[in-house]
Chains A and B, each alone.
Chain A
Amino acid sequence: MTTAALPSPVRIGLSRGVLELKAFFRERSAVVFTVAMPMILMLIFGTIFKGKVHDTNVDFRQYFAAGIIASGIMSTTFVSLGVAIAQERDDGTLKRLYGTPLPKAAYFIGKAVLALALSVLETAVLFVLGNVLFGLKPPSTPERWLTFAWVFVAGVVVCTLLGIAVSSVPRSGRGAAAVLNMPYLVLQFISGVYFPFDGLPSGVQQAGALFPLKWMSQGLRSALLPDTLLPAEPAHSWEHGRTGLVLAAWAVAGLALCLTTFRWKRRRDG
């Protein structure tokens, strides 16, 4: 008996990505919730806050617009994926997949494709909104475009890996949204998304600086906002080296967590 070769994980992974996108965009309520939530936040904060960031001539609304783009990335990756995977574990999707020759890597690739596509969409929508409402400008130099690109990609990678890893924490699919939204909400408030980071108490700053969202927000500000904002940044510099290091460390940790803690089955399925 000759054995035909198994399809490669990358090929199956891309095919899963296409399927995930199709299923996602046909589920209209999910699309609206994922894309509209950060838009609504942007509108609300845009009507509440006015003026300049302290010691600078930068419009505060542009400051938090950059932060909301960063937290939008975390929403479409970390939160969406974490909840979706926990639900798929609960409803038997993962059990069915585990009974097929689907490799784990292909499943992850499919989720990553979905997360990347949603993040691009969300970022584009939020940027256009920030541009129209608050005059947020695109990166002004090729160098800043490059910064924007690597911060975006690193943010998507880190939060995707963490989303897959954290999906194993909730005990059921129903509890997943609550479990995932808690760290997301807390991080938004301690990472300088809605308030200038250096205005936070120093203990909160130190806690926020341990997590990726602070560095993603800062990185996007460095790409989208002028250097005149620097007096209001905690280190009075963009700290690109440190941003890269922190995100790389989280990527490694996230990958290790994914590979070691990912479960196809519910806890009670032992």
Chain B
Amino acid sequence: MNDTAVRVRGLRKRYGDVDAVNGVDLDIFRGEVFALLGPNGAGKSTTVEILEGHRRRTGGDVSVLGADPGKPTREWRARLGIVLQTSNEQPELSVREIVRHFAGYYPRPRDVDEVIEAVGLTEKAGARLAQLSGGQRRRVDVALGIIGGPELLFLDEPTTGFDPDARRQFWRLIEGLAGGGTTILLTTHYLDEAEALADRVGVITGGRVLEVGSPMELGGRATATARVSWLGPEGRQSLETDSPTQVVAELSQKFDGEVPELTVARPTLEDIYLTMIGEGR
């Protein structure tokens, strides 16, 4: 079996005179969580929808689980899970009813109650969808995405509109799925989400992939200088340095112990990302 779940070469999508996607290359390996980042209108959603078989491409080679998503078959669909952005359908059905119903679409579905438990809705299994909160509805969406036991799961901005606590809970759910070997392609606007979940992130802007790397290494983040800052006699001072430990040691000597309001910061993924898409424009 091939160890690449998604392989994209020279993907193009043209709307009228505009190339929304203009030469995207991408490899997503089996078992990894891959986060695709990019500003609105960068071609992120279009790329993902082409991979999902929801949109036709103008050009390029695409292979998703060894098949061309431009010609989706039922067999291929049965191996994918897709969690779209919010939906409000079927408010009068209960969680268990809708999950059980979707299970009937697949050749070897997962156990209905087990999936409901995995998304943390066991206590709400009998409740109608209309009675659920936004976060709980999103969990139903995920349940429907994973009920078929997918090899590859697409998650499109899964935590938009969540409160911080709900987001953390949701991350644990995704970590659990990834731990079970599901390949996950995640799109998100939250950089901390990408950092917490993804093995690798890709930044897409202007219809192209700018860079792919681990969240720690993207954009030279691992080797970037650190900023040491503290409150000195003349006010706040700071220093860019490649050897922050040494700087802190010297400061400690100078202040004879505690350094007032000491911080040592490396650029966050968000800093790196904003710099990257700034240059990409």
Chain B interface size, under 10 / 10 to 19 / 20 to 34 / 35 or more = 20 to 34
A49 within 8 A of partner (CB): no
Among B77, B86, B90, B108, point to the contact of A100 (Cβ < 8 A).
B77
- In the complex, chain B residues 58-85 whose Cβ is within 8 Å of any chain A Cβ: 74-75, 77-78, 80, 82, 84
A265 contacts chain B at the CB level, 8 A cutoff = yes
Residue A93 at the B interface, CB < 8 A? Answer: yes
- A23 touching B74 by the CB < 8 A rule? no
Q: Which one of A6, A93, A95 contacts B78 once the chains associate, using CB atoms below 8 Å?
A: A6
Within 8 A of A (CB), among B24-83: 52-56, 74-75, 77-78, 80, 82
Bound-complex Cα distance A212 to B75 (A): 39
Q: Answer whether residue B253 sits at the interface, using C-beta atoms and an 8 A cutoff.
A: no
Tell me, yes or no, whether A4 is within 8 Å of chain B by CB.
yes
CB pair A96 B89 closer than 8 Å: yes
A270-B55 contact given A91-B88, A102-B105, CB 8 Å threshold: yes
Give Cα A4 to B103, complex, Å.
Answer: 14
User: Does B105 lie within 8 Å of A7, measured CB to CB?
Assistant: yes
Contact partners of B75 in chain A: CB under 8 A: 3, 6, 101
Whether B93 is near chain A, meaning CB under 8 Å from some CB there, is yes
User: Nearest chain-B residue to A28 (Cβ)?
Assistant: B92
List B contacts of A15 (CB < 8 A). 101, 104
Indicate whether A101 sits within 8 Å of B105 (C-beta atoms), given known contacts A91-B88, A95-B84, A96-B87.
Answer: yes
Flag whether A45 is at the interface (Cβ < 8 A).
no
- B residues in contact with A55, CB < 8 Å: none
Task: Verify B104–A6 contact, CB threshold 8 A.
Answer: no
Interface residues of B (CB under 8 A from A): 1, 15, 52-56, 74-75, 77-78, 80, 82, 84, 86-90, 92-93, 97-98, 101-102, 104-108, 128, 144, 148
Beyond A27-B92, A99-B53, A99-B82, 8 additional contacts (C-beta under 8 Å) are: A1-B1, A3-B75, A5-B107, A7-B106, A23-B92, A100-B77, A101-B75, A102-B105
